[in-house]
């Protein structure tokens, strides 16, 4: 038995979906523990692309059980849309295969309007780059203790009372502050009663089920969304997501005891990308950055936005190692670097006459950071067909080794292409030694 957490080490879009999909082969339970449909996992299986925003990517395996934890915020319409799409492809999602935490909060229609209104009201330079999916306002209601939970769908009277109180308050904000038309109680109530009829069999106590699985010797895989630098506490605030994305939240966001976690795998893209606004010290504004964007297919799975691209940042990687207690790295998109004559890795920053080996907490200082690079020879060979680390070009092996040295963390997995088969599993975290 092993319990493994997978997290992103950068600003998201590191390829977590593919790695989770691979490790799911060895897991019995797969758990999503934070975020909402502002994140997307893209998988390519047998040449067919799958994009998941809420359902754990382990749903592609018929013999696995998937869980959406209490730390996730759920848009029921999006969730049901994913279920319908899977069913249309012959992969029906039954209550026996998916459990939704009764404590997970629901994204309501007014959350999306508040999200868009808030972003539109911000001045130029202060915009966060939100997806507009209602994630932040939903988490806000959770903290303000007025949120609506999935379990509330099972009690029509409780749901009605909480919805009524929320709509009265939200409509005042929408009409008075954002000059937006008010939402209708009757329409939302009717819509969500329809959701309740479908989702009721899926809603249960995820914490209890995970503990039962642990006691039964099940392998449990915890699937994070976004990346460490988007963590609400430890990221480049305020240009962050609305939840804790670090490994510690795998426990808080699912109701699982922290001493039961055996290992934490950090997903590290071989270069760096970021979607939206905010600091990005190693960002490239030249032909190299454009080449990485094109070759890597760097468009957001959720929004389709073009990702900003840059060299690998060891400062960011080491922040993730420290914050997540990462025990092993999975390097993705190594193949995208093929053809580059020289590679660069940021090992520190400079700003305001000072040197930094960690991301500063002051956002204005963070926006002024200039990377200090070391250079490493690149390689020209296509590595997508490589299935053993020994068969990589010498310079590619040296690059991987340099990452291990800079982070003082072993590489457990290498991805050399988008397909599930284009992966080198060097050390399986589910096989204890």
Kindly state the helix (H) or strand (E) to which residue 294 belongs, with its residue range: helix 287-296
- Respond yes or no: is residue 13 known to be catalytic: yes
Residue 340: closest CA among 313, 380, 399: 380
* Residue 65 token pair: 């059980």
Sign of CA dihedral 340, 342, 346, 352: negative
Cα separation, 320 vs 326, whole angstroms: 7
Which residues are 31's β-sheet partners? Answer: 67, 222
Phi-psi group of 32: left, alpha or beta (phi > 0 → left; psi -120 to 50 → alpha; rest → beta): beta
13, 21, 28, 75: the active-site residue? 13
* Residue 163 token pair: 């919805």
* CB of 105 closer than 8 Å to CB of 73: yes
Residues with Cβ within 8 Å of 125's Cβ and at least 6 positions away in sequence, in order, are: none
Cα separation, 186 vs 408, whole angstroms: 57
Residue 5: closest CA among 30, 26, 22: 30
Beta strands per DSSP E along 94-219? 98-101, 105-106, 203-204
Cα separation, 241 vs 227, whole angstroms: 9
21, 41, 115, 231: the active-site residue? 41
- Respond yes or no: is residue 28 known to be catalytic: no
Cα separation, 250 vs 260, whole angstroms: 11
Cα separation, 45 vs 36, whole angstroms: 23
Cα separation, 386 vs 391, whole angstroms: 6
Alpha helical stretches, state H, 178-278: 185-199, 206-215, 248-252
> How many CA within 13 A on the CB side of residue 350?
3
Catalytic residues: 13, 41
């Amino acid at each position: 038995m092993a319990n493994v957490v997978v997290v992103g080490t950068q600003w998201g879009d590191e390829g977590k979906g593919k790695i989770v999909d691979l490790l799911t082969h060895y897991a019995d339970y797969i758990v999503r523990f934070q975020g909402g449909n502002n994140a997307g996992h893209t998988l390519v299986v047998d040449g067919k692309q799958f994009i998941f925003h809420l359902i754990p990517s382990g749903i592609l395996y018929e013999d696995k059980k998937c869980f959406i934890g209490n730390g996730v915020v759920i848009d029921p319409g999006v969730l049901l849309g994913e279920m319908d799409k899977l069913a249309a492809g012959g992969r029906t999602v039954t209550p026996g295969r998916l459990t939704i935490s009764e404590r997970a909060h629901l994204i309501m229609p007014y959350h999306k309007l508040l999200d868009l209104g808030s972003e539109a009201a911000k001045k130029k330079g202060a915009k966060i780059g939100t997806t507009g999916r209602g994630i932040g306002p939903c988490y806000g209601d959770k903290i303000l203790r007025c949120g609506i939970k999935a379990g509330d769908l099972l009690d029509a009277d409780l749901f009605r009372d909480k919805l009524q109180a929320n709509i009265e308050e939200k409509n005042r904000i929408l009409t008075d502050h954002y000059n937006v038309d008010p939402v209708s109680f009757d329409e939302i109530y009717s819509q969500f009663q329809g959701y309740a009829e479908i989702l009721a069999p899926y809603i249960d106590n995820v914490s209890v089920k995970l503990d039962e699985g642990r006691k039964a010797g099940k392998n449990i895989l915890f699937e994070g969304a976004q990346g460490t630098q988007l963590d609400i506490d430890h990221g480049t605030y305020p240009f962050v997501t609305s939840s804790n994305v670090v490994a510690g939240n795998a426990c808080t966001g699912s109701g699982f005891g922290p001493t039961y976690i055996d290992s934490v795998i950090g997903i590290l893209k071989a270069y760096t990308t970021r979607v939206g606004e905010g600091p990005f010290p190693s960002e490239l504004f030249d032909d190299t950055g454009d080449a990485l964007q094109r070759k890597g297919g760097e468009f957001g799975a959720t929004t389709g936005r073009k990702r900003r691209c840059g060299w690998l940042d060891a400062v960011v990687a080491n922040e993730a190692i420290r914050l997540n207690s990462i025990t092993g790295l999975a390097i993705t998109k190594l193949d995208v670097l093929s053809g580059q004559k020289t590679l660069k890795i940021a090992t520190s920053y400079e700003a305001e006459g000072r040197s930094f080996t960690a991301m500063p907490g002051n956002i204005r200082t963070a926006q002024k950071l200039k990377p200090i690079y070391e250079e490493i020879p690149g390689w020209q060979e296509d590595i997508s067909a490589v299935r053993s680390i020994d068969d990589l070009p010498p310079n590619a092996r040296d690059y991987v080794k340099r990452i291990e040295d800079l982070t003082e963390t072993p590489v457990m997995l290498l991805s050399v292409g988008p397909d599930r088969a284009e992966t080198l599993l060097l050390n399986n975290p589910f096989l204890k030694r």
